[in-house]
Each structure stands twice: as structure tokens, then as C-alpha cells.
């Protein structure tokens, strides 16, 4: 239920004519529950004042010197989103009115209007906005939720995010017996449903279509996979992705975290409003990379950005997928470039992964004894226990052999390898790759 505030509605009056401002004050005094928090003579003043006093409602004239009401409405809607703008205009300004509404105004009044018209319009617009804000309240996640959000992310495509996310969620749901939602945030080209051989009836787009979002709506849009994982699928068509905004994602994550143990989020590559919202809300970010040059370069940039965003070192876990492949770069070299060590090694195993993808059966279910499944199991156990610090240790046990094999082929990490030093062409090739990466970051 939505509880409306009993406090008085704080109003800012914006009009270039002093007499009009005075009249509005008088009309407002007929209604109860209003307080005039300030007056401005033009749009520019209005923006500055709105930022300072954060009024609930701005009564905005359209035509004013210095800066008009439409431009000011747009700025206030963006910069003080908790403020509701109501436009005051005269007959014959209908073209302006359309523009004002598009700029973010909630309602309008056409002169002359009565005190009742004014009071009712303010109350109605303020109430509607308050309801809307309550629905999309900014992350009260920290106070209310119990579930943990794990995002599987990369800044490079095709590194194995969906493979890891689907198997991790399946493992958590089936073996760890947790209530798990797998959310497909790859909104344009999500693969989660197909990887689980499922056909969604409803998707995240069906949630985004609604004005109000609550738990029942979100639950009604989940499908249940036979492993027990509840899936929130991405839209059925790429163009439907547009209707899903960061606010929706924030609200959905908040609601899901209130009712489930884990929310595993399969992310698209790249940083934008939506991915940043999910990353902010996450308890753990699994940053996936492979031993390939572009993936490493992007992982490093991503780690730098996450540090700048103030994310805890422990919040971000570095996952090296296909870590057992010898592709000319050692894990040590990569760790040196990234200035941190790999937390989780996932081996390469095309013979297990590819048929699993094609059949739509997660490999933790179809090949539970494979080493790659064991790695996911260790990852799930550690995430499930909430003991993040042992992620590395647990995963390393399962992949010891792989890491050792890769390390054995690596040469001396970071040290320049002279031609003819007896270590052969492979070592020289690796030194070249390493040099290229260093030059990317040193600008050389």
C-alpha cells in the first residue's frame, strides 16, 4: 500500500510578472497544506533555486526573459527529478504545452483558473509523482533485501558469461537448494532461455510495460526451469529492449532480492545505464575474461573503472574462462597486466560445453563429473556460503592441473625474452604479445 506524506507541499513560483506571482500566492493560501518555498523571475533563476530548495512542485510560466519555462522544465526534470513541474499558460499556447509536457512537465493550468483548479491540480500531480517515485524508489536494497545479487559481466563479448551464469544458477538451485533467479539482462540478444531449452511466455518487457511494479507482477513473469531456477527472460524481440530502463532494472532487482536467495544476472558486454545499475546493486561481480589480448585489455579498463566507481576490491572477482588453453599468453603475464590475480579458473572444455549449449542442458546437470562442472560447483559453494575470500582457493583446487599446465608453458612472466636464449619460437611469440599489451597501457 502506498502511504502518502502528511507534510506540506513545498512550492516554487516561477513567473516574470510580480503581480502574477503575488496572485498565485494568494490563491494558494485558500488551500491547506502548501508552503511557498521561493519565487523566481525566469527559468535560469528557477533552476538554481530548485536545486537549492528542492521543492515538491514548481508552478512554471512559459514565456519569460533570459530563459523560458520549457528549457527550465527540462533542466529541472533531469537535475531535480523529485520535483513535479506544472505549467501555467494562457489560451493559444497549445503548441508550447505539448513541448512542455515532453520536457517533463506533469500537468498544466490555463489562465484564468480558480483557486480550486490550482489546488486540485497541484495535489493530483504531486500525488501521482510521489506514487511513481515510491514504485521506483532508489535502491533501498541495503535495508530490505536478503537475497544476494551476483552479476556475470565482461567488457568483451563471447567470453563465456552466459555459460557461467546459467551453470552457476543451475548449480545453486539444484545442488545448493537455494531459491535462485537467473535474470537475462542481455536485453537485445539474450541467450539464457535457449541455453536452458525454455520458451518464455513473459519477459522483462512485460514488467517494463506496466506503470507500477510489484512482487506479484515480477513473479508472474518468471518461468521455472526443471532445475528449479526461476528465469526472467530477455525480451522476445530486440526492439522491445528499448522499453526497459535502468529504473526498471533497479526496481526488479530490489523486489527479487526480497524474495529469493540468489539473483544471478547474465549481463551484456559493456557499460551503460542499465549495466551500471546492476553492477551497483550487485554483491558480487564476476568479471569474466579469457587469455586473449582484447579481452585482457578491456578487463583492465573495466577494473580501473570499477575502482574509480568505488567498488570494493572484494566485490569484484576475476574469472578466467578457458584458462587451460595454451594460446600463447600465460596466466602470470595476464595477472601482471591486470595487477591482480585470478580468483576463479574455469577450464576450457569444448567437448562438454558445446553439446550442453546445443542441447540446452547446463553441463553441471549433463556432465556433473567433468572438471569444468566441479569448478562451477566450487564457485557456487563459495558464493552460497557467502565466504567470498575462499572463492580462489576452492576453484583453484579443481583447476590446479590446468593452471599448472598453463604456467609451465609460460616462460618468465614480464621479463623480456632475448632471441636465441634457447627458449624457442613459442617463448618469443609470447614475449611479443606481452610487449604489445604493455604498450597499450604505457602508450608506447
Ligand X SMILES: Nc1ncnc2c1ncn2[C@@H]1O[C@H](COP(=O)(O)OP(=O)(O)OP(=O)(O)O)[C@@H](O)[C@H]1O
Is residue 170 near Mg ion by the rule CB under 5 A? no
H/E segment holding residue 340: none
- CB 306 to ligand X: min, Å: 18
Contact between 163 and Mg ion by CB under 5 A: the answer reads: no
CA atoms within 13 A on the CB side of 354: 4
- Residue 89 interacts with which of Mg ion, ligand X, none, CB < 5 to 8 Å by class: none
Q: Which of residues 358-387 bind ligand X (CB under 6 A)?
A: 372
End-to-end Cα, the chain, rounded Å: 60
The residue within the footprint of ligand X, chosen from 59, 122, 187, 353 (CB under 6 A), is 353
Q: Which does 321 bind (CB under 5 to 8 A by kind): ligand X, Mg ion, none?
A: ligand X
Q: Which does 277 bind (CB under 5 to 8 A by kind): Mg ion, ligand X, none?
A: none
**Which residue, among 86, 251, 263, has the nearest Cα to 165 in the 3D structure?**
263
357 binding ligand X? (CB under 6 A)? yes
Q: Where are the beta strands (DSSP E) in 191-314?
A: 223-224, 230-232, 262-266, 284-289
Site membership for ligand X, residue 120 (CB under 6 A): no
Kindly write out the interface string for residues 279-298 of this chain, putting x where it contacts Mg ion by CB under 5 A and - elsewhere: --------------------
* β-strand pairing of 230-232 with 223-224: antiparallel
How far is residue 411 CA from its own chain's centroid? Answer: 40
Q: In 10 A of CB 216, how many CB atoms? A: 9
Stretch near ligand X under the rule CB under 6 A, chosen from 123-131, 159-167, 256-264, 432-440: 159-167
Comparing CA positions, the residue from 225, 229, 183, 221 lying closest to residue 202 is: 221
CA neighbor of 198 nearest in space, from 154, 144, 234, 173:
234
Number of H helices and E strands in the chain, helices first, is 19, 13
Helix (H, G, I), strand (E, B) or coil at 40: strand
Sites for ligand X among residues 265-324 (CB under 6 A): 269, 321-322
CA distance 180 to 272: 25
Binding residue count for Mg ion, defined by CB under 5 A: 2
Does 160 bind ligand X (CB under 6 A)? Our answer is yes
To Mg ion, the closest distance from the beta carbon of 269 in angstroms equals 8
Q: In terms of CB distance, is 126 or 297 closer to ligand X? A: 297
Q: Which positions from 191 through 230 interact with ligand X, judged by CB under 6 A? A: 191
Q: Can you read off the three cell numbers belonging to residue 3? A: 502511504
Nearest-approach distance from CB 359 to ligand X, in angstroms: 12
* Cell matching residue 139: 535502491
162 touches Mg ion (CB under 5 A): yes
Q: Which does 158 bind (CB under 5 to 8 A by kind): Mg ion, ligand X, none?
A: ligand X
Question: Is residue 231 a contact point for ligand X (CB under 6 A)?
Answer: no
Strands in 173-299 per DSSP E: 180-184, 223-224, 230-232, 262-266, 284-289
Examine residue 354 and tell whether it contacts ligand X (CB under 6 A).
yes
Q: Where on the chain is the footprint of ligand X (CB under 6 A)?
A: 154, 157-163, 186, 191, 269, 321-322, 346, 348-350, 353-354, 357, 372
Amino acid at each position: 500500500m502506498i502511504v502518502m506524506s502528511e507534510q506540506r507541499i513545498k512550492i516554487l513560483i516561477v513567473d516574470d510578472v510580480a503581480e502574477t506571482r503575488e496572485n498565485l500566492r494568494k490563491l494558494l493560501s485558500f488551500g491547506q497544506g502548501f508552503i511557498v518555498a521561493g519565487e523566481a523571475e525566469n527559468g535560469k533563476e528557477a533552476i538554481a533555486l530548485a536545486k537549492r530548495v528542492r521543492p515538491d512542485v514548481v508552478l512554471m510560466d512559459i514565456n519569460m526573459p533570459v530563459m523560458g519555462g520549457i528549457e527550465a522544465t527540462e533542466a529541472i526534470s533531469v537535475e531535480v527529478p523529485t520535483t513535479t513541474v506544472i505549467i501555467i499558460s494562457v489560451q493559444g499556447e497549445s503548441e508550447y504545452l505539448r513541448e512542455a509536457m515532453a520536457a517533463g512537465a506533469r500537468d498544466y493550468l490555463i489562465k484564468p483558473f480558480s483557486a480550486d483548479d490550482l489546488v486540485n491540480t497541484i495535489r493530483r500531480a504531486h500525488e501521482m509523482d510521489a506514487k511513481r517515485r515510491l514504485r521506483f524508489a532508489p535502491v533501498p536494497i541495503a535495508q530490505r533485501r536478503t537475497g544476494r545479487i551476483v552479476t556475470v559481466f565482461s567488457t568483451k563479448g563471447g567470453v563465456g558469461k552466459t555459460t557461467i551464469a546459467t551453470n552457476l544458477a543451475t548449480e545453486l538451485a539444484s545442488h545448493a537448494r537455494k531459491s535462485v533467479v537467473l535474470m537475462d539482462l542481455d536485453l537485445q540478444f539474450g541467450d539464457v532461455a535457449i541455453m536452458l531449452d525454455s520458451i518464455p511466455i513473459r519477459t522483462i518487457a512485460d514488467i517494463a510495460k506496466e506503470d507500477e511494479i510489484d512482487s506479484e507482477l515480477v513473479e508472474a513473469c518468471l518461468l521455472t526451469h526443471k532445475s528449479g531456477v526461476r528465469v526472467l527472460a530477455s525480451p522476445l524481440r530486440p526492439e522491445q529492449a528499448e522499453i526497459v530502463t535502468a529504473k526498471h532494472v533497479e526496481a526488479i532487482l530490489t523486489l527479487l532480492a526480497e524474495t529469493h536467495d540468489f539473483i544471478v544476472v547474465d549481463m551484456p558486454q559493456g557499460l551503460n545505464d542499465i549495466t551500471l545499475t546492476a553492477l551497483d546493486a550487485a554483491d558480487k561481480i564476476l568479471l569474466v575474461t579469457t587469455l586473449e589480448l582484447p579481452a585482457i585489455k578491456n578487463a583492465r579498463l573495466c577494473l580501473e573503472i570499477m575502482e574509480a566507481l568505488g567498488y570494493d576490491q572484494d566485490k569484484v572477482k576475476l574469472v578466467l574462462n578457458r584458462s587451460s588453453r595454451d594460446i600463447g599468453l600465460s596466466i602470470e603475464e595476464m595477472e601482471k597486466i591486470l595487477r591482480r590475480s585470478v580468483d576463479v579458473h574455469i577450464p576450457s572444455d569444448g567437448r562438454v560445453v558445446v553439446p550442453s549449449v546445443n542441447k540446452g542442458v547446463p553441463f553441471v546437470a549433463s556432465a556433473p563429473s567433468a572438471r569444468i562442472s566441479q569448478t562451477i560447483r566450487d564457485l557456487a559453494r563459495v558464493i552460497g556460503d557467502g565466504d567470498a575470500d575462499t572463492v580462489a582457493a576452492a576453484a583453484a583446487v579443481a583447476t590446479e592441473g590446468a593452471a599448472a599446465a598453463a604456467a609451465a608453458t609460460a616462460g618468465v612472466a614480464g621479463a623480456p625474452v632475448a632471441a636465441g636464449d634457447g627458449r624457442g619460437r613459442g617463448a618469443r611469440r609470447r614475449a611479443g604479445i606481452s610487449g604489445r599489451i604493455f604498450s597499450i597501457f604505457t602508450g608506447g
